């Protein structure tokens, strides 16, 4: 599986350093990058699939923890150490440019990593690969791949793939694929595909497809709440359905 941050290095004598680095804020898939940029791959390697990643997303805001690798069994003969170092420099500069660490009124468009010191009022139409801390008041759209820490006051739209830490005060819209850690204070709308860990204090609306773990403190049955499947091992402390 391709990791954040993925890119493709093309040999190009017209460019500084003799290469072009192709990346996209919208995908980490090498195969999708190949399709997007209409690249041809054959017996002779015309490009190299590369990744520049932290050991885990908890340190995604610390560029000094990132490691570079070629994501294939062999590398092109033209990809020497000098070119490798130049590619690392470019990818390091890119990661530094997408780390958000200050006060931001609106986060829109592009790709971001949220540092613990960030304070963001609203985020939509963007990709957040990791939220390592800080505060986001309202996620209204776009994609958040992993909330690892910090506080999100509202999720009212978009897609959140994982909540594995931190605190989310209210899920009121959008889609959350997997809650596996942290604390969710209130689910009042939207769709949660699986709760498998962490603590959910209150479920009173929306659709929960599967509860397979974690702690659920209160479930209140009202007209706009659907819970499809609950594992037998799950304990709901106060079930008002």
- Give the total number of structural domains in the chain: 2
**pLDDT score at 129:** 95
**Residue 197 shares a structural domain with residue 213:** yes
Question: Tokens 């690969």, residue?
Answer: 129
**Residue 109 shares a structural domain with residue 215:** yes
- Please write the tens of the pLDDT for every residue from 121-131: 999 999 999 99
Q: Give the sign of the dihedral formed by CA 226, CA 145, CA 147, CA 58.
A: positive
**pLDDT score at 42:** 65
- Please write the tens of the pLDDT for every residue from 37-70: 988 766 667 889 999 999 999 999 999 999 999 9
More confident residue, 73 or 231: 231
**Residue 230 shares a structural domain with residue 174:** yes
**Residue 218 shares a structural domain with residue 114:** yes
**Residue 82 shares a structural domain with residue 138:** no
188 lies in some domain? yes
Structural domain for 200, as ranges: 101-240
46 lies in some domain? yes
Do 159 and 144 contact (CB within 8 A), yes or no?
Answer: yes
User: Of 69, 98, 127, which residue constitutes the final position of a domain?
Assistant: 98
Q: What span, in angstroms and rounded, lies between the C-alpha atoms of 179 and 190?
A: 14
Pairing of strands 119-124, 111-114: unpaired
Instruction: Provide the 8-state DSSP code for 148.
Output: E
Res. 106: pLDDT tops 70:
yes
**Residue 86 shares a structural domain with residue 130:** no
**Residue 108 shares a structural domain with residue 126:** yes
- Please write the tens of the pLDDT for every residue from 143-188: 999 999 999 999 999 999 999 999 999 999 999 999 999 999 999 9
**Residue 47 shares a structural domain with residue 139:** no
Do 135 and 118 contact (CB within 8 A), yes or no?
Answer: yes
**pLDDT score at 1:** 66
User: Of 46, 63, 98, which residue constitutes the final position of a domain?
Assistant: 98
76 lies in some domain? yes
**Residue 93 shares a structural domain with residue 128:** no
**pLDDT score at 220:** 85
Q: Which of 2-11, 185-194, 230-239 has the lowest mean pLDDT?
A: 230-239
**Residue 26 shares a structural domain with residue 77:** yes
**pLDDT score at 15:** 80
Q: What is the mean pLDDT of the chain?
A: 92
**Residue 222 shares a structural domain with residue 117:** yes
User: Of 98, 122, 144, which residue constitutes the final position of a domain?
Assistant: 98
Q: Of all residues in the chain, what percent carry a pLDDT higher than 90?
A: 78
**Residue 93 shares a structural domain with residue 106:** no
Rounded to two decimals, the pTM is: 0.89
**pLDDT score at 241:** 80
**pLDDT score at 116:** 95
Q: Which of 177-191, 193-207, 225-239 has the lowest mean pLDDT?
A: 225-239
1 lies in some domain? no
Q: What span, in angstroms and rounded, lies between the C-alpha atoms of 8 and 5?
A: 11
Do 105 and 118 contact (CB within 8 A), yes or no?
Answer: no
Q: 185: closest CA among 169, 208, 197, 174?
A: 169
**pLDDT score at 41:** 67
199 lies in some domain? yes
**pLDDT score at 14:** 83
Q: 219: closest CA among 188, 196, 178, 177?
A: 188
83 lies in some domain? yes
């Amino acid at each position: 599986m391709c990791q954040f941050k993925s890119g493709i290095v093309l040999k190009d004598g017209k460019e500084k350093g003799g290469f072009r680095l192709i990346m996209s804020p919208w995908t980490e898939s090498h195969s999708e990058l190949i399709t997007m940029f209409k690249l041809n791959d054959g017996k002779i390697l015309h490009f190299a699939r590369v990744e520049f990643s932290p050991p885990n997303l908890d340190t995604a805001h610390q560029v000094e923890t990132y490691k570079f690798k070629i994501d294939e069994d062999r590398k092109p003969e033209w990809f020497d150490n000098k070119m490798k170092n130049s590619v690392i420099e470019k990818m390091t500069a890119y990661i530094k440019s997408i780390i958000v660490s200050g006060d931001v009124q609106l986060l829109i468009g592009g790709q971001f990593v949220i540092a613990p010191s960030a304070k963001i009022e609203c985020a939509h139409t963007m990709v957040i690969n990791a939220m390592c801390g800080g505060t986001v008041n309202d996620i209204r759209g776009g994609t958040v791949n992993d909330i690892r820490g910090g506080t999100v006051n509202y999720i009212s739209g978009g897609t959140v793939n994982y909540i594995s830490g931190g605190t989310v005060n209210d899920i009121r819209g959008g889609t959350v694929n997997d809650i596996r850690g942290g604390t969710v204070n209130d689910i009042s709308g939207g769709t949660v595909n699986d709760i498998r860990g962490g603590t959910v204090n209150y479920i009173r609306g929306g659709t929960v497809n599967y509860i397979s773990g974690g702690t659920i403190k209160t479930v209140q049955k009202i007209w706009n709440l659907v819970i499809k499947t609950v594992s037998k091992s799950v304990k709901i402390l106060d079930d008002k359905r």
